[in-house]
Structure 1
Amino acid sequence: MALPLPLALSDTIVALSTPPGAGAIAMLRLSGPEAISLTDAVFAGKRLRDQASHTLHFGTIRDQDRILDEVVVSLFRGPHSYTREDVVEISCHGSDYIVQQILALLTRRGARLAEAGEFTKRAFLHGAFDLAQAEAVADLIAADSALSHQVALQQMRGGFSQELRELRGQLVKFAALLELELDFGEEDVEFADRTGLVTLLQEVQTLVRRLLRSFELGNVIKNGVTTVIAGKPNAGKSTLLNALLNEERAIVSAIAGTTRDLIEDEVSIEGIRFRFVDTAGLRDTTDVVESIGVERTKKRVAQAALLLYLFDITSTTPAEVQAEIEALNPGRLIPMLAVGNKRDVASDEEITAFQDLPDTVLIAASRGDGLDELQQELLRRVRGEGLDRTGSATIVTNLRHARSLEKTSQALDSVLTGLGQGTGTELLAADLRHALAALGEITGEISSDDLLTSIFTQFCIGK
Structure 2
Amino acid sequence: MNDTIAAIATPFGSGGIGVIRISGSKAFDIASTLFSKRKNRPEGSSILESHKIYHGYIFEPETRDIIDEVLLIPMKGPRSYTAQDVVEIQAHAGTIVLRTILDEILSLGARLSEPGEFTKRAFLNGRIDLTQAEAVADIINAKTASSLKFAASQNLGTFKNEIQDLREKLIHFLALLEVNIDFPDDVEPFEPSPKEMGLIDDVLGKCTEFIRQHDDACFLKEGIRVTIGGAPNVGKSSLMNRLLEQDRSIVTAVPGTTRDPIEEGLNIDGIPFVITDTAGIHQTDDLVEIIGIEKAKDHITRSDLVLFLKEPGTRFTDMEFEKVVPLEYQSEGKAIFVINKIDLDEGDLPKLSETYQHIPKVEISALLNIGITELKQKIVNICIAHLDMEKSSVVPNLRHKKALEQAVESLKLVKTGLAQRAEEETLAIDIKHSIDSLGTITGETASLDILDSIFNNFCIGK
Normalised by the length of structure 2, the TM-score is: 0.88
Instruction: Say whether residues 1:106 and 2:98 are aligned partners.
Output: no
Instruction: Say whether residues 1:38 and 2:39 are aligned partners.
Output: no
Distance change >3 Å, CA 324–CA 353, structure 1 → 2: closer
For 2:72 and 2:185, the matched residues in 1 are separated by 67
Distance change >3 Å, CA 182–CA 230, structure 1 → 2: same
Does structure 2 conserve the Cα–Cα contact (< 8 Å) formed by 1:37 and 1:49? no
Between the two proteins, what is the percent identity of the paired residues? Answer: 37
Residue 259 of structure 1: how far off its partner (Å): 3.3
Residue 372 of structure 1: how far off its partner (Å): 3.7
Deviates more, 1:177-186 or 1:97-106: 97-106
Deviates more, 1:80-89 or 1:347-356: 347-356
What are the residue-to-residue correspondences of 1:354-433 with 2, within 5 Å?
357-366=357-366, 367-383=368-384, 385=386, 387-389=387-389, 391-433=390-432
Deviates more, 1:373-382 or 1:444-453: 373-382
For 2:27 and 2:149, the matched residues in 1 are separated by 33
Deviates more, 1:249-258 or 1:211-220: 249-258
Does structure 1 conserve the Cα–Cα contact (< 8 Å) formed by 2:48 and 2:74? no
Provide Cα deviations, 1:226-269, integer angstroms capped at 9, x if missing partner. Answer: 32111112333223212211233334455544434433322111
For 1:397 and 1:79, the matched residues in 2 are separated by 29
Provide Cα deviations, 1:295-328, integer angstroms capped at 9, x if missing partner. Answer: 33223323434322222354345xx13x223333
Provide Cα deviations, 1:195-218, integer angstroms capped at 9, x if missing partner. Answer: 333322222212111111121234
Instruction: Say whether residues 1:326 and 2:326 are aligned partners.
Output: no
Amino acid at match of 2:22: L
Does structure 2 conserve the Cα–Cα contact (< 8 Å) formed by 1:217 and 1:382? no
Deviates more, 1:435-444 or 1:189-198: 189-198
For 1:212 and 1:92, the matched residues in 2 are separated by 44
For 2:82 and 2:193, the matched residues in 1 are separated by 44
Gaps of 5+ in 2: 38-43
Residue 393 of structure 1: how far off its partner (Å): 0.5
Q: Which residue of 2 aligns with 1:4?
A: none
Provide Cα deviations, 1:410-444, integer angstroms capped at 9, x if missing partner. Answer: 01101111111111222112111111111111011
SS at match of 1:49: coil
Q: Which residue of 1 aligns with 2:435?
A: 436
Provide Cα deviations, 1:315-348, integer angstroms capped at 9, x if missing partner. Answer: 345xx13x22333344326973132314566899
Q: Which residue of 2 aligns with 1:3?
A: none
When the two chains are superposed, the root-mean-square deviation of aligned CA atoms in Å is 2.8
Residue 178 of structure 1: how far off its partner (Å): 1.7
Amino acid at match of 2:34: V
Residue 351 of structure 1: how far off its partner (Å): 7.5
Does structure 2 conserve the Cα–Cα contact (< 8 Å) formed by 1:54 and 1:77? no
SS at match of 1:110: coil
Q: Which residue of 2 aligns with 1:183?
A: 182
Deviates more, 1:118-127 or 1:346-355: 346-355
For 1:377 and 1:427, the matched residues in 2 are separated by 52
Residue 456 of structure 1: how far off its partner (Å): 1.3
Residue 21 of structure 1: how far off its partner (Å): 3.5
Equivalent residue for 2:9, pick from 4, 17, 28: 17
Instruction: Say whether residues 1:298 and 2:294 are aligned partners.
Output: no
Amino acid at match of 1:47: S
Q: Which residue of 2 aligns with 1:49?
A: 47
SS at match of 2:185: helix
Normalised by the length of structure 1, the TM-score is: 0.88
For 1:424 and 1:394, the matched residues in 2 are separated by 38
Does structure 2 conserve the Cα–Cα contact (< 8 Å) formed by 1:227 and 1:306? yes
Residue 225 of structure 1: how far off its partner (Å): 2.6
What are the residue-to-residue correspondences of 1:20-419 with 2, within 5 Å?
20-45=12-37, 47=45, 49-67=47-65, 68-187=67-186, 189-190=188-189, 193-287=192-286, 289-312=288-311, 314-317=313-316, 320-321=317-318, 323-332=319-328, 336-342=334-340, 350=349, 357-366=357-366, 367-383=368-384, 385=386, 387-389=387-389, 391-419=390-418
- The structure carrying a bigger helix percent of its residues is 1
Provide Cα deviations, 1:341-397, integer angstroms capped at 9, x if missing partner. Answer: 145668998578679711222221334444344334433443363x332x4403434
Provide Cα deviations, 1:106-139, integer angstroms capped at 9, x if missing partner. Answer: 2222222222211111111222111100111011
Residue 284 of structure 1: how far off its partner (Å): 1.7
Q: Which residue of 1 aligns with 2:40?
A: none
Does structure 1 conserve the Cα–Cα contact (< 8 Å) formed by 2:223 and 2:272? yes
What are the residue-to-residue correspondences of 1:443-458 with 2, within 5 Å?
443-458=442-457
For 1:205 and 1:373, the matched residues in 2 are separated by 42
Distance change >3 Å, CA 454–CA 279, structure 1 → 2: closer
Residue 35 of structure 1: how far off its partner (Å): 1.0
For 1:447 and 1:410, the matched residues in 2 are separated by 18
SS at match of 2:47: helix
Residue 403 of structure 1: how far off its partner (Å): 0.8
Amino acid at match of 1:35: A
Distance change >3 Å, CA 255–CA 20, structure 1 → 2: closer
